[in-house]
Structure 1
Amino acid sequence: MAAMLAVCFSLTVLSSDLAHAVDTTSSNATTVPPATELLIPDSEAWAIHWQATNITQKHSDFIAPYSGTNSLNPHGGMEETTDTTLFLGLRLWSGAEVWLNPEVDQGFGFDNTLGVAGFPSGGAYKIGANTPYLRFPKLFVRQIIALDGTNEAIAAAPNQLAGSQTSNNVTLTVGKFSVVDIFDTNSYAHDPRADFLNWSIFEAGSYDYAADPWGFTFGAAAEWNQDWWTLRAGFFQLSSEPNGKITRINFGENSTNLEVEARHQWLGHPGKIKLLTWINQGRMASYQDAVALGQATNSTPDVALVRRYSSRAGVALNMEQEISSDIGAFARLSANRGDKETYEFSDINQSISAGLSIKGGTWARENDTIGIAVVMNRISGDAQKYFTAGGLGLLIGDGNLNYAPEKIVEMFYSMQFSSTATASVDYQYIANPAYNQDRGPVSVYSLRLHANF
């Protein structure tokens, strides 16, 4: 599959006249004055887009006096992931679109995506395979209901038909998709096919959003867009047990999400501030109960033995600010209740990240990007006791724990060869992987190839 991607990548570089498109469901809109409404392009009736991404990673050897079931291999390792996706869209009626995204995946994250809470590959799912396999991660309908305001031209992009819409509107999305297509988005750190690779940098680390092991679920979201603010609400299906597959629609386990976004200008440059809250409801375990049962039975604590219907809430603050035409800054702060096990995303109870995205205009490579970011992840006192006693989480579990916050630095350079092809080199330095200062530090080196039309 990697060889196939290399051929596609080479051919795509030669096709520099194709239109560039980014895999995102957020609008790429240009305001059009009412007097020039006739210049708005005709609405697309249908569209086909495509992308392919290969991420190859290697991590260094590191010091580790002991390892557990979910540990990162201290003797180094090398893995690759490849995914290729079709974006098939059809306009149903005025303001309504349906999208289907068949995708072929192949490859693994390090140690089958284990060993680091802020996992270093956004191309790695929690389920891997040596041979390519077909999935249908997205099938959804979007309806835009016009309110008022200026008309905006909408550019063609994956999961977005070209056309127009009013600046003030209500957008409804229903079906199977990713919660983070809509919530916790950020212009500078959100797309592992284009910017940062670390899970806890391109998303809020503590955001335990509803998802199957590949990151998708069933649900519905509504967005109320006004001149300078947006209100979002969503209701989604959790897996029937933490980190489980979602094979049928059942909202017995569920997640409710609410986000408020405010847009502003600072010294003539745009910025956004978002406040997100969520609450998950389902069968989940208390760390205290798991540790108590382990002590009573003289065994390793196991969250699977003490699960009962309960809830866990969290909050995230997400900020982005353009500093100049070539430089943007971002930061996220997030936290969830640390008394219970992680349900879907990663074993993180508090996280803070910040970074810069720098375009290459100053060195005559305006479509190249340099990114640098730092993140610090923590777990609660209850979680520390659980992992110290040998418990296992979704991604971590060394059999013991000498606790310290997990600290990560990531840097990348993305070079655009044409309007449809990029290559990126990426370096991550991970101190205290899985919150364990007995192990590490670890260096991760990555090469990412991406092509799209």
Structure 2
Amino acid sequence: MTTRSVSLIRAAALVLIVPVPAGAADLAAQRPAAESPAYTDWSGGYVGLQGSAGGSYGAYNFGPTMIGARSIPAFRSGDSTGRSDQGRNATTAVGGVFGGWNWQAGPWVYGVEASLDAANLKRPVPSTIAGFGYVDADPVFNLVRAKTDLYGTLRARLGYSFDRYLIYGTFGLAGADARFLATYPDLDAGGQNTARRELGYLGFTLGAGVQYAITDSLALGIDYRYLDLGGSRRFPLGTVPGDAGGPVTTRASFTSNQLFARLMWFPGDLTVPPDPYEAAPHDPDNGDTGRFSLHGQTTLIAQGVPGFRSPYAGAQSLLPYQARQTTTATIFLGFKLTDSTELYYNPEFSQGFGLSRTLGVAGFVNGEAQKAGASFPKLRSNRYYVKQTINLGGETVEVPDGPNQVATRYAAERITLIAGKFALGDFFDGNIYAHDPRVDFFNWSLWGSSAWDFPANLPGFTQGVYAEYNRPDFAIRAAYTQVPKEPSSDVLDPRVFRRAGLNAEFEQRYILPGLDQPGKLRFGLFSNVGVSASNREVVTLTQFGLFGDVNDAAAATRRPRRKTGGYINLEQGLTPELGLFARASLNDGRTENISFTDIDQSFSGGLSLKGKAWDRPDDTIGVGAAMNGLSPSHRAAFAAGFYGLLIGDGRLNYGTERALETYYALNLTKFLTLTFDYQFLSNPGYNRDRGPAHFFASRLHADF
């Protein structure tokens, strides 16, 4: 169903539900009242600022390179995916200014826009100098470096306006500067040759974006663009000294995926439509619950960590001095086949990486950071499932339209059956105060029971069946789902009758005496069979010398093994504005974890407060703390150099990982929230030799 269709349906609904007196019917027909448009008028000029905090990535293409008469193959420098690209040098563009002009015909918007952005793209050229006397050069990786400081674009825009939103696509020209710096040491005679070359590039750009009018003159937006800066003619780059050397010539081109958060100012003001829901709220008694549901969300998180104690680092260590950005955009589609059968589908784009590529912290600090991160917008079908409701009786419960929920009516006592692809967190371990990193806590150990090793692929989804029996005062639910083929795999194992996950939960609802506030207590159990290694076995095999590396021992001895555990989850209202949450989770700790993270015991809790006391009832303050631990056999494996799902310093001076988080969610409009977040982390990766570390973040979340 298209956005325009939704807007037309809403407009039609307004006409139908506004009563017209019978005596005025003819007069109304002769002089119909002018209707406000269902979209914002974006006409006119605008200027703005845009910034990127690690969510933009670039890659150089070099070569083939000639050294004298000998050739080195072409090489692509790698989109910030290697560990060597961590930290401060992964950003393609850090921000700048832009301006443009829009014309509008009905809901269709077209225009032109120019932008200029500072950049910080630095990439080493990993020149394989085998045969040229540089095999043992240290560091070979830094013989040639490429840098880009400035980008510029001139783009045409074509978009569609609805409500306060504008969704658009772009195309046009892009330009950038590039500097190539080369150092060629002479390993035989000592000394070195250096070279510098500056080039300008002109190519094309394609992109898309969305913007939202927060006032009559200001808008916030997210803008993605792909830049292809084309190839260059061959150019000289100094001379490699020595008998095996010679003059160097090469070619270079580069591409970039850039994602910006934007603030726009419209000096001529915008014409913004009234909110149709406020003008005519939905009346559940009119019998029109609808057949379709269309919603969307986008969340942008920028997070950084300054310096901290880091005497050594392994392949999966948290690194100091870095910033990263993650972005997701989701469409929630729902369709009611019958009064009791519903279909849902969620396509989702995601881009970016967590700090240190979502590694180095067991209770990770960004809940939107996926282990399946990408330097470009990556599209996945994260959810698709059918939902069947069997009503058993009792009073009728009105369920409003929302993400993955078509407006409908259910019986208070009912059975719900679901089959397809979903996240187990959609139905289990819920908590209204701490469960969604898009709107509340960032830390994995605060929004979830982190010792619950739930089956999932890298973004956190699985396939299977789910059943729930619901009554007003309690619910019982269970799911049987696929597990990954091996630890931290994006491929789910199809052999569900041999390897699968079984999860169950009991939820008790109550009103706490004395406070007269609602509460829920959830008890969860899981028993998952997946391909994994025994912690104790891999350490023993390595100590006896049968394997030189504990990770080789794990890879060689993985087989189907069972992991069991459980959790307790409390949510309790203390006042209408203040709520308490707490979780405790535990697993047997005998095998490596297969899906979520490297935690065997976890305790967390905190408070969530609405801003009514300072006349900001839609704002939220959250404060929470978490403590994570490992079983003795799991500690021994990491001390021997094991690399788990998220952590691994190559050694371990064990201490419990402890986190403190606080955030303030500032509600800007009905659809837009800006959050500021701070986290303090002690012993990241359970290592007393590392940290403590401080994390600072901001989050922009929009939904409709």
Flag structure 2 segments of 5+ consecutive residues without an equivalent. Answer: 1-51, 56-94, 96-207, 222-271
2:331 maps to which of 86, 89, 92:
86
Give the C-alpha shift of residue 100 in structure 1: 0.7
Alignment of 1:101 with 2:349, yes or no, is no
- Residue 333 of structure 1 is matched in structure 2 by 584
Q: CA separation in 1, counterparts of 2:605 and 2:209?
A: 32
- Residue 33 of structure 1 is matched in structure 2 by none
1:76 maps to which of 306, 321, 335:
321
- Residue 29 of structure 1 is matched in structure 2 by none
Q: CA separation in 2, counterparts of 1:182 and 1:360?
A: 28
Q: Which amino acid aligns with 2:582?
A: A
- Residue 540 of structure 2 is matched in structure 1 by 292
Q: Is this contact kept in 1: 2:362–2:599, CA < 8 A?
A: yes
- Residue 530 of structure 2 is matched in structure 1 by 282
Alignment of 1:181 with 2:426, yes or no, is yes
Q: CA separation in 2, counterparts of 1:319 and 1:167?
A: 22
Q: 1:84 to 1:293 in 2, by over 3 A?
A: same
Alignment of 1:191 with 2:191, yes or no, is no
Q: Is this contact kept in 1: 2:382–2:461, CA < 8 A?
A: yes
Match of 1:443, SS?
Answer: strand
Q: Is this contact kept in 2: 1:290–1:386, CA < 8 A?
A: yes
Cα RMSD of the aligned pairs, angstroms, is: 2.0
- Residue 133 of structure 1 is matched in structure 2 by 378
Q: Is this contact kept in 1: 2:455–2:482, CA < 8 A?
A: yes
CA deviation map 1:154-198 (0-9, x unaligned) = 111100011211111111111001011001111110011100011
Q: Given the two structures, how large is their TM-score scaled by the length of structure 1?
A: 0.93
The structure, 1 or 2, with the larger RCO (C-alpha pairs under 8 Å, 6+ apart) is 1
Range with greater deviation from structure 2 (359-368 or 88-97):
88-97
1:301 maps to which of 550, 555, 561:
550
Q: 1:16 to 1:56 in 2, by over 3 A?
A: farther
2:211 maps to which of 7, 14, 18:
7
Give the C-alpha shift of residue 299 in structure 1: 1.8
Give the C-alpha shift of residue 12 in structure 1: 7.2
Q: Which amino acid aligns with 1:354?
A: G
- Percent identity of the aligned residues? 39
Runs of 4+ in 1 over 4 A off after TM superposition: 1-6, 8-16
Pairing of 1:144-163 with structure 2 (within 5 A): 144-163=389-408
Match of 1:291, SS?
Answer: helix
Match of 2:211, SS?
Answer: helix
Give the C-alpha shift of residue 227 in structure 1: 2.5
2:569 maps to which of 308, 318, 322:
318
Pairing of 1:256-271 with structure 2 (within 5 A): 256-266=502-512, 267-271=515-519
Q: CA separation in 2, counterparts of 1:78 and 1:57?
A: 6
1:169 maps to which of 414, 423, 429:
414
Give the C-alpha shift of residue 313 in structure 1: 0.1
- Residue 406 of structure 1 is matched in structure 2 by 657
Alignment of 1:52 with 2:301, yes or no, is no
Q: Is this contact kept in 1: 2:493–2:499, CA < 8 A?
A: no
- Residue 603 of structure 2 is matched in structure 1 by 352
Q: 1:107 to 1:190 in 2, by over 3 A?
A: same
Q: CA separation in 2, counterparts of 1:162 and 1:336?
A: 38
1:374 maps to which of 620, 625, 642:
625
Q: CA separation in 2, counterparts of 1:227 and 1:404?
A: 43
Q: Is this contact kept in 2: 1:15–1:418, CA < 8 A?
A: no
Q: Which amino acid aligns with 1:311?
A: R
Q: 1:365 to 1:18 in 2, by over 3 A?
A: farther
Give the C-alpha shift of residue 15 in structure 1: 7.2
Q: CA separation in 2, counterparts of 1:183 and 1:163?
A: 22
Q: 1:54 to 1:184 in 2, by over 3 A?
A: same
Q: 1:5 to 1:290 in 2, by over 3 A?
A: farther
Range with greater deviation from structure 2 (2-11 or 235-244):
2-11
CA deviation map 1:350-400 (0-9, x unaligned) = 000001010000000000000000000000100111111111100000011
- Residue 308 of structure 2 is matched in structure 1 by 62
Give the C-alpha shift of residue 129 in structure 1: 1.1
Give the C-alpha shift of residue 7 in structure 1: 3.2
Q: Which amino acid aligns with 1:431?
A: S
Q: Given the two structures, how large is their TM-score scaled by the length of structure 2?
A: 0.60
Range with greater deviation from structure 2 (299-308 or 150-159):
299-308
- Residue 205 of structure 1 is matched in structure 2 by 450
Query: Which of these two proteins has the greater Rg computed from alpha carbons?
Result: 2
1:440 maps to which of 680, 687, 691:
691
Match of 1:81, SS?
Answer: strand
Q: Is this contact kept in 1: 2:326–2:350, CA < 8 A?
A: yes
Q: 1:390 to 1:15 in 2, by over 3 A?
A: farther
CA deviation map 1:290-329 (0-9, x unaligned) = 1112122362212222112210101100000000010000
Q: CA separation in 2, counterparts of 1:150 and 1:320?
A: 25
Flag structure 1 segments of 5+ consecutive residues without an equivalent. Answer: 21-36
Give the C-alpha shift of residue 253 in structure 1: 2.2
- Residue 31 of structure 1 is matched in structure 2 by none
Q: Which amino acid aligns with 1:271?
A: G
Q: Is this contact kept in 2: 1:315–1:335, CA < 8 A?
A: yes
Q: CA separation in 1, counterparts of 2:609 and 2:621?
A: 5
Q: Which amino acid aligns with 1:371?
A: G
Q: CA separation in 1, counterparts of 2:273 and 2:369?
A: 28
Q: CA separation in 2, counterparts of 1:18 and 1:7?
A: 19
Q: CA separation in 2, counterparts of 1:227 and 1:87?
A: 27
Q: CA separation in 2, counterparts of 1:173 and 1:15?
A: 39
Q: Which amino acid aligns with 2:546?
A: T
Q: CA separation in 1, counterparts of 2:315 and 2:665?
A: 35
Q: 1:413 to 1:6 in 2, by over 3 A?
A: farther
Q: Which amino acid aligns with 2:636?
A: K
- Residue 110 of structure 1 is matched in structure 2 by 355
CA deviation map 1:6-37 (0-9, x unaligned) = 734755797783769xxxxxxxxxxxxxxxx9
Q: Is this contact kept in 2: 1:41–1:153, CA < 8 A?
A: no
The structure with the largest strand share of the pair is 2
CA deviation map 1:105-138 (0-9, x unaligned) = 1100111110000000011000211111211100
Q: CA separation in 1, counterparts of 2:315 and 2:398?
A: 52
Q: CA separation in 1, counterparts of 2:394 and 2:334?
A: 26
CA deviation map 1:77-118 (0-9, x unaligned) = 100001101111111112111011111111001111100000
Q: 1:12 to 1:167 in 2, by over 3 A?
A: farther
